[in-house]
Structures are given as structure tokens and as C-alpha cells.
Structure 1
Amino acid sequence: MTTFYIDPSPTNFQAFKDLPRDEPIHMLNLLRYRDEAEYPDGHEHAGKEWSGRRAYEEYGNTSGPIFRRVGGQIVWRGAFQTMVTGPEPDDKVWHDGFVAQYPNAGAFFEMIKDADYQLAVVNRTAALVDSRLMRFAPGEVGSGFG
């Protein structure tokens, strides 16, 4: 049985909250879109027959100003091509991925607590059939693997 993830579990979110909040973070995002976005009944975009990708674009348009206000920026973005190490491609195909950088974890919390962000995140939920969000401490960039 395949398990899908859109929102963090209470255990995972608590682990995130328990980490330091005053240091820079990178958030790796892996996205798998629905064929058709699934909005709640009565939502302004329900019935528009948007693709998941289109609903995620709306999420980016509506959450972007808040993301930038807290000091966030995208430091890497890519479109999935094939799995090299990992499950067979039919098992887990990611459509897009990106790394969001925040000046600190406190900025991430500020963003997700923002009332306008909470309205915008409905678009993310409607858009995705599966996702991963992983926190990393930024490391040094260079020419070696070590």
C-alpha cells in the first residue's frame, strides 16, 4: 500500500519545532501533482477544473509575497526526469522539486502562521497528491562531495 503525504504528521512537526529556530534553514520540497486539483466545496476555485500544477501555481502566486516578506528565497529548482537511486520510477514520480532558503526557522513559522498564508495553502492542498518537505542545515557549496 502506498502512503501519500500532504501535511506533516504531529510527530514530524514537533521534531521540526524542537530544532533551533535562530539559524538558517533549507527546505527541500518534492511535489507530485494531482491530475485535477481537489478544492473543498464552496471554495472560489472549486469547479474551475484546474490541474494540480495550475493550483500549485496559484499557491505560489498567493503565498509568494509572504514567503519573500519573511526573507525566503528559492535557491534551487528542477523538474524531475528519472530516478537513479531509489524506488522504481512507477512507484514515486516527483513532478517538481525545489529548495527554499529561510534566514531562520522562525521566519518559516512566521510565514505559516500568517492569516493570508493560511488562505493560500488551500491551493497547495488542492494541488498535490503527494509531497515531501525536509529541513536541512545549509552546508558549504564547492566542487567536492565531502
Structure 2
Amino acid sequence: MECETFIDPSPENFEQFKKLPRDEPIHMLNLLLYREKADYPEGHEHAGKGWSGRRAYEEYGKTSGPIFRRVGGRIVWRGAFRTMVTGPEFESWHDGFVAEYPNAGAFFEMIKDPDYAHAVVNRTAALVDSRLVRFSPGEVGEGFG
């Protein structure tokens, strides 16, 4: 089955994100599917190095990490995909994680940082598909409800 892929937010989705409250903590679920070979734009410093998508994403983490931490971000969960239990069988991921930000303003501060614009090229080169889903943190406990 042919499916649409997503690397960057659509203008419509990003407008919805911007309309949500900015002064509350957020959790961002990230699902990642790496390219076999990173796809850098011609002339980029890493173009032609033969990096895998996973290696390019590691570079994204290295270059965006200091900005992420400076705005108060942290990873609260990380995992490696094993199988789809409920959902489309054709959808699979390599990795997933939940990034926590003290508020949406911190997320905006990160993505507006000029150094982040340089770092995000690595993310784009690394991924063939991704999901970025905003949640409001809830109570942690033993039950489902």
C-alpha cells in the first residue's frame, strides 16, 4: 500500500499547533523512519559522505541537542520499534521518543534559533517519514484511565 510521508509540519497543522496554549508543559511524541542513505542537498558539508539516515539523525541530535537543553527540553521516554499491534500494518518506525518542553514557548524558541536552522538540515536528510504529535502531560500511574 502506497502511503504519504511526512518530514515537516504542513502549514495547516502548524497553525493548529500555534493556536494551542503556550504556557503549559508539552510532550512531543516523535516517530522516526530513517532513510537507508541520508539525502543532503548538493553542496552541504555532509553531502557525499555516504552517511546512513541514522547517522545523519545522530548529527541532528548532536547539533540541536545544546539548543534543546538550553530551552529546558529533555527526553522522558525513548524506544526502538518492534511491531505494530494496533494500526496500519504498512506503518513501521525505527525509533520513537517523547521530548518534554517546559512550555510551547520553549519549543518555538528552539525552532527559531539560527543554529537550529543549521541543525535541522540533518533531520531532513535523515528521515524518509516521521510523526510529531503534541500531547499535554497527564498523570503517571498504574491504571489506564
Give the TM-score, by structure 1 length: 0.98
- 1:117 partnered with 2:112: no
State the distance in 2 between where 1:136 and 1:92 align.
21
- 1:4 partnered with 2:8: no
* Counterpart position of 1:108: 107
The offset of 1:5, in angstroms, is 0.1
Report the 3-state secondary structure (helix = DSSP H, G, I; strand = E; otherwise coil) of the residue aligned with 1:141. coil
Q: How does 1:25-36 map to 2 (within 5 A)?
A: 25-36=26-37
State the distance in 2 between where 1:93 and 1:108 align.
26
The offset of 1:51, in angstroms, is 0.2
Q: How does 1:22-61 map to 2 (within 5 A)?
A: 22-61=23-62
State the distance in 1 between where 2:88 and 2:16 align.
26
State the distance in 2 between where 1:138 and 1:87 align.
26
State the distance in 2 between where 1:87 and 1:15 align.
25
4+ residue runs over 2 A deviation: none
The percentage of aligned residue pairs carrying the same residue is 81
Q: How does 1:65-104 map to 2 (within 5 A)?
A: 65-88=66-89, 91-104=90-103
State the distance in 1 between where 2:133 and 2:88 align.
18
Report the 3-state secondary structure (helix = DSSP H, G, I; strand = E; otherwise coil) of the residue aligned with 1:60. helix
Gaps of 5+ in 2: none
The offset of 1:93, in angstroms, is 1.2
The offset of 1:2, in angstroms, is 1.2
Report the 3-state secondary structure (helix = DSSP H, G, I; strand = E; otherwise coil) of the residue aligned with 2:110. helix
The offset of 1:57, in angstroms, is 0.2
